[in-house]
């Protein structure tokens, strides 16, 4: 049984919004922090649309969408996270940015509050080292889209206490997720494979081997993936992919992890993916995946 009742999510982007849905849907009071009010408004709208669609499709019982929305609170004030039993960080893949966030959070949150990072590439031990509470810090990497995918990669840092890890594990299970233990290594399990794989798909487009729609269709049809790699990249965002590549390549020096030039050109053209309406594919709306 989890001892966690109130959940904080720092960052209202695609990943943070999805994590907040998972927590609120599971019955936890959920406080979403983002300094940008427009990001909070967008996340609220996406959350409402997703939950209502889930109810319409019979994936949630009648009234569950409204109840989950009632547990969801957005705030531009970091001090509002003082009530949280756990705060999950879902901000840019940049160590300095994460340190700045946790250093501001440490004096705000009570002693018992667990800090967690949704990082997929940066060392949990390194992030925890700048958090002020490395013994109460854990990696919780949700899979994109978090509101549909059940897996969470749970990674202890070198200083993470057994009690912290077990509390976080029980919380993951209480949300209806499936946690797995991974060591604190670059990319953990999924992104160790996924970042180079997605970059390979980008390079196929760069080299003119095939069109994005055909690459996605081939992967979905032959390998049974629910999304093609370029569809997934549009959901992640080219700006995020660039940061993931830079972090992963900087740690591993794996050539396939290096950011393809096409990603930088797409960022310059504001073709970031679904959030700007165009990436490898063109979108008529910016609704959350699954809504």
Q: Which listed residue (54, 117, 118, 120) is catalytic?
A: 120
Task: Give residue 92's pLDDT.
Answer: 87
Q: How far is CA 42 from the centre of its chain?
A: 16
Fold of the 191-276 domain: 1.10.1040
Is 141 one of the catalytic residues?
A: yes
Active site residue 191: yes
Contact 138, 179 (CB under 8 A): no
250: preceding bond cis by omega (within 30 degrees) = no
Q: Which of 141, 155, 199, 231 is catalytic?
A: 141
Residue 151 near residue 48 (C-beta atoms within 8 A): no
Active-site pick, 89, 93, 153, 231: 153
3-state secondary structure 101-112: HHHHHCCCCCCC
Domain positions in the chain:
6-181, 191-276
pLDDT confidence of residue 186: 86
Q: Which of 191, 198, 199, 231 is catalytic?
A: 191
Tokens for 22? 């998972």
Instruction: Kindly report the CATH class assigned to 6-181.
Output: alpha beta
**For residues 80 and 33, is the Cβ–Cβ distance under 8 A?**
yes
Residues 6+ apart with CB under 8 A from 38: none
CA distances from 88 to 61, 123, 175, 222, 234 (A): 27, 15, 14, 36, 24
Give the pLDDT of the chain (291 residues) as one tens digit per residue: 678 999 999 999 989 999 999 999 999 999 999 999 999 999 999 999 999 999 999 999 999 999 999 999 999 999 999 999 999 999 988 899 999 999 999 999 999 999 999 998 899 999 999 999 999 999 999 998 899 999 999 999 999 999 999 999 999 999 999 999 999 998 899 999 999 999 999 999 999 999 999 999 999 999 999 999 999 999 989 999 998 999 899 889 999 999 999 999 999 999 999 989 999 999 987 666 655
CA atoms within 13 A on the CB side of 192: 9
């Amino acid at each position: 049984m989890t001892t966690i009742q109130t959940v904080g999510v720092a960052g209202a982007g695609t990943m943070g919004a999805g994590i907040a849905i998972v927590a609120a849907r599971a019955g936890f009071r959920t406080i979403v922090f983002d300094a940008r009010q427009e990001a909070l408004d967008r996340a609220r709208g996406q959350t409402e649309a997703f939950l209502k669609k889930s109810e319409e499709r019979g994936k949630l019982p009648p009234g569950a969408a409204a109840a989950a929305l009632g547990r969801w609170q957005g705030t531009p004030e970091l001090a509002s996270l003082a009530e949280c039993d756990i705060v999950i960080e879902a901000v840019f893949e940049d160590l300095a940015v994460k340190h700045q966030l946790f250093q501001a959070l440490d004096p705000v949150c009570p002693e018992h509050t667990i800090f967690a990072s949704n990082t997929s590439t940066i060392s949990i031990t390194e992030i925890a080292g700048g958090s002020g509470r490395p013994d109460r810090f854990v990696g919780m990497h949700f899979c994109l889209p978090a509101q549909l995918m059940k897996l969470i990669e749970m990674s202890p840092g070198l200083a993470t206490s057994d009690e912290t890890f077990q509390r976080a594990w029980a919380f993951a299970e209480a949300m209806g997720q499936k946690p797995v233990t991974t060591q604190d290594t670059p990319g953990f399990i999924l992104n160790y494979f996924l970042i180079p794989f997605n970059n390979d798909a980008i390079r196929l487009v760069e080299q003119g081997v095939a069109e994005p729609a055909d690459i996605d269709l081939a992967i979905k049809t032959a390998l049974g993936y629910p999304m093609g790699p370029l569809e997934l990249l549009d959901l992640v965002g080219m700006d995020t992919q660039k940061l993931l590549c830079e972090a992963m390549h900087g740690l591993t020096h794996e050539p396939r992890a290096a950011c393809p030039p096409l990603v930088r050109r797409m960022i310059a053209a504001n073709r970031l993916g679904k959030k700007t309406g165009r990436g490898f594919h063109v979108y008529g709306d910016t609704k959350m995946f699954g809504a």
